[in-house]
Structure 1
Amino acid sequence: MWRYKSPIGNIYIKRLPDGRYGMVYDGTVWESCDTPQAEADNVYMQITGCSEWDMCDTSKVIVPADLSEWEKI
């Protein structure tokens, strides 16, 4: 599991029971991808389906562009 301490709170990428990787925010899985990097890309591009994140102004923060920049927990 990986964590990004975003302006809206912790966002996680975790492996789901079906083997895919999901973006989890506030206890909800918003979407899933085949790889954790693909999920990290969607978070970076703000195309997750979670409007609170997708509409967040990230112009003054650094959003990790690669999974290696997330905290592995």
Structure 2
Amino acid sequence: MVGCEIFYYHAMINTIGFSGNSNINGSFNVLLGDIASLPKSSKFSDCIIRVGDSKINVYRCILASRSEVFD
């Protein structure tokens, strides 16, 4: 049996800027690339799942959208 612990922490609220870019397809591809790169960085993670000696930085919004356990 493997134990699992989940740690949650709050961060400061970031301000949001708006872009005047009208290239929707290009913007969508950039967004997909940004989302795909999230697991490679802990920069914006807001949760840590610890399994044994390993720590995995994760994102609550993704966990909640993909699993009823985190809803």
How does the TM-score come out when normalised to structure 1? Answer: 0.25
How does the TM-score come out when normalised to structure 2? Answer: 0.25
Larger Rg: 2
Structure with the higher helix share, 1 or 2: 2
The structure, 1 or 2, with the larger RCO (C-alpha pairs under 8 Å, 6+ apart) is 2
